[in-house]
Amino acid sequence: MKTEWWKKASVYQIYPRSFMDSNNDGYGDIQGIISKLDYLKDLGVDILWISPMYASPNCDNGYDISDYYNLQKIFGTLEDFDALVEKAHKLGLKIMIDLVFNHTSDKHKWFIESKKSKNNKYSDYYIWSKKTNDWVSCFSGSAWTYNEERDESYLHLFSSGQPDLNWSNPSVRLEAENICRFWAEKGVDGFRMDVISYIGKRDDLVKAKGRSFDAYTNHQKQTHEYLYELNEKVFSPFNMVTVGETPNVDVETAIQYTKEDNKELNMVFQFELAECSNDGEPKWFGRKPELSDFKDIMIKWQKGLETEGWNSLYWENHDQPRSISKFGNDSDEYHDVSVKMLAILQYMMKGTIFIYQGQELGMTNTVFNSLDDFDDIESINAYQDLLNRGLNKEAAFNALTRVSRDNGRTPFQWNSGENAGFTSGIPWLKVNPNYIKYNVEDETKDSNSVLNFYKKLLKFRKNDEVILFGKFKNIDCPNPLFIYEREKDGVVYRIIVNFSNREIYRAKEEGEVLLSNYESYGNFLKPYEALVIKK
Ligand code: GLC
């Protein structure tokens, strides 16, 4: 079996609005990314996944595309993009772009035409219906919006500015194929496919009962067929690496998407870890996760995709709060050790690793002083929703503060100067005040910093066959310890993690310490201690 290059790769996600602003308009841009390619190369990542930069009215910060063939002005021009691809390739970095195919913007010309009448070229590009059902959209409110011009309602699983495309229409599928080909020909190396598991929908969906749309819209057999079609026409011929965002996916369905013979996707993002402490409620009501909430989930996915499919390993992205604040301990005392512990815990597992910008600095959740500090449509809509559910203003505000997507979207922290070195204009979202402590410039100088630890980890992982391809074995132990082994050709690594701020007795194990977040190792595991030991 050949080993695909992306199995050894690490992916770094850039949220372009917040990465680096080259022209001081307060928004990050492509030239900003170009100016930091050396930093990314030096960090040791291989693939840069860049969140959408296409033309967009930004009701969902670019995940509402109004033109798939052009970029929005704040980010730059297509020439800038070409320069980015060229310069990245020269450094040996690959580029993965984000494709949003479940929906477009309501300002896309297809939708503008589609809503005009029932018999033009674009009439059938979206999901229109006289009758509607009780579905609630992901961003609060009904998933249907009535349009007077057409005297029908259209389906939107997200905001009303994001109408869902009708993939059962072959013309829509052809458009998608052409878009993929356009970008593949520009030299991009991969696609991250936004909520791709929703593209295939049941014909009888208006008959659905209840508020949830999943049974009629998620992981339908058509979705697999559409992905196969795209794979045959573009992904395989262009040798693309693909990762699909697939909410509520289980192991079996993940295998269906990612099994080599099925020729659909290379990897999917599963949500079980991210949602492990929500207890089935919306994320605003989630608890702080404990190890017991997710240990079994991690083990299940490691074992589940051991021989078929391939895991994507992530803690963070632009939709999640910062992992150190959610899963770890962001107090001054434990910040660094607990960030490093999280890195060892997940990134010594088998799969392709995904790092979200700033994670390598230990960026934390931010401080919100008032509702005006929020930008994200999901958070703003949810606030009203939470009040309607009976929460008082303070409780609703606190819920947003804890898990709002804006936590992950604050500007990248380059240095301790004005606006963290992100811009000398007014940043579109406030900089996290702790940039004074956590930033590239200072962390580069400190040999013990989180940034230098990430570099070490990435280097260690890169050519280590045991970590890349070894078998996974869980070692039974009581919480708050998590111990597992990786084994290849008789070489065994044991990963030992203390997921707590307490010292825990555990007899010192024999072997060579290959990686650790403390300088010494003994019979007591220190708070958040994590080790990789070669047995
Ligand atoms: C995905 C994106 C998220 C976006 C949503 C709708 O979940 O990651 O940012 O809001 O899809 O496109």
306-339 pLDDT, tens digit per residue, is 999 999 999 999 999 999 999 999 999 999 999 9
Whether pLDDT at 1 is above 90: no
For residue 378, how far is its CA from the centre of ligand 1 (angstroms)? Answer: 10
**Helix ranges restricted to H, 36-77:** 37-43
The token pair that represents 365 in the structure block: 């959740």
**Residue 377 scores a pLDDT above 60:** yes
CB atoms inside a 10 Å sphere around CB 265 = 29
pLDDT of 478 strictly over 80: yes
CA gap 12, 501 in Å, rounded: 29
**Can you list the alpha helix ranges (DSSP code H) found in 416-478?**
440-445, 450-462, 465-469
- From the list 471, 373, 489, the residue with the least C-alpha distance to 429 is 373
**Confidence band of 293 (pLDDT split at 50, 70, 90):** very high
Percent of the chain with pLDDT over 90: 99
Protein residue closest via CA to atom 12 of ligand 1 = 63
185 part of the active site: no
Q: Tell me the per-residue pLDDT of 137-173, one tens digit each, with 9 for 90 and over.
A: 999 999 999 999 999 999 999 999 999 999 999 999 9
pLDDT tens figures, 184-239: 999 999 999 999 999 999 999 999 999 999 999 999 999 999 999 999 999 999 99
pLDDT(286) > 80: yes
- Quick one: pLDDT at residue 152? 98
What CA–CA distances, in Å, run from 75 to 20, 52, 57, 72, 155?
Answer: 10, 10, 13, 6, 30
Decide: 19 and 361 in contact? Cβ < 8 Å: no
In the annotation, is 252 catalytic? Answer: no
Mean pLDDT of 277-305: 97
Q: Are 376 and 324 in contact (CB under 8 A)?
A: no
pLDDT digits (tens, 9 = 90+) for 3-61: 799 999 999 999 999 999 999 999 999 999 999 999 999 999 999 999 999 999 999 99
Ligand 1 site residues (CB inside 6 A) read 60, 63, 100, 158, 194-195, 245, 318-319
pLDDT greater than 80 at residue 2: no
pLDDT given for residue 298 in this prediction: 98
* Residues with Cβ within 8 Å of residue 520, at least 6 apart in sequence: none
pLDDT attached to residue 277: 98
Residue of 192, 194, 271 best suited for mutating to test ligand 1, as the one with most atoms within 8 Å of CB:
194
146 three-state secondary structure? strand
| Helix, strand, coil tally for the chain in percent (to 5) | 35, 20, 45
Q: Which of 29, 245, 336, 378 is catalytic?
A: 245
Q: What is the pLDDT of residues 494-528, one digit of tens each?
A: 999 999 999 999 999 999 999 999 999 999 999 99
5: number of Cβ within 10 Å = 13
Q: What is the pLDDT of residue 33?
A: 99
pLDDT at residue number 467 = 98
Closest atom, ligand 1, to C-alpha of 60: 10
Give me the mean pLDDT over the 457-478 stretch: 97
| Mean per-residue pLDDT of the chain | 97
Q: What pLDDT sits at residue 396?
A: 98
